[in-house]
Amino acid sequence: MSGHAAKPFRLAALMLVMMQTTLLLAAEQPEYPTDQQSGLIMAPGWQLVAGQCTGCHSARFITSQSGDRETWESMIRWMQKTQGLWQLPAEVETTILDYLADNYPPGKPSRRANLPVYLLPN
């Protein structure tokens, strides 16, 4: 008997979650067009990212990732330590991190969840 009593409540909870998801998706409508060539969102700073971040690999590495500012910063540190990425001037790095954290935040649909930095190859 107990299992049946809980059902309507569970249904209501499920509907709430679905409504929230719809609202979240509506709020994430893209404000900026996407660059046809690189696939980058053309928000402020994108040209800097295109210039600094697509010399070694395609911008798809970026557009398929997501993370908060710290996650993006640790990816940059990892590339600097192990992949030959150069030092970025402070204000360039700030613009790039602002752009990445704003446009590719955690939870945006992406290819897969982030690998934590400690799982990346050294």
Q: Judged by CB under 6 A, which stretch of 11-19, 27-35, 39-47, 61-69 contacts ligand HEC?
A: 61-69
Local structure of 41: helix, strand or coil: strand
Least distance to ligand HEC from the beta carbon of 110, Å?
10
- The answer to whether residue 65 forms part of the interface with ligand HEC (CB under 6 A) is yes
Give the whole-angstrom CA distance, residue 101 versus residue 69: 5
Local structure of 118: helix, strand or coil: helix
- The answer to whether residue 56 forms part of the interface with ligand HEC (CB under 6 A) is yes
Q: Smaller CB distance to ligand HEC: residue 22 or 83?
A: 83
Are 98 and 49 in contact, with CB atoms under 8 Å apart? no
Tell me the H-state helices in the chain.
Answer: 2-5, 7-27, 46-53, 60-63, 69-82, 90-103
The contacts of residue 54 (CB under 8 Å, 6+ apart) are 38
Among 38, 96, 101, 103, binds ligand HEC (CB under 6 A): 96
- The answer to whether residue 85 forms part of the interface with ligand HEC (CB under 6 A) is yes
Kindly determine how many residues on this chain lie close enough to bind ligand HEC according to the rule CB under 6 A.
Answer: 18
Least distance to ligand HEC from the beta carbon of 49, Å?
6
Question: Which tokens is 55 given?
Answer: 């010399």
Residues that bind ligand HEC (CB under 6 A): 52-53, 55-57, 61-62, 65, 75-76, 79, 83-85, 96, 100, 115, 120
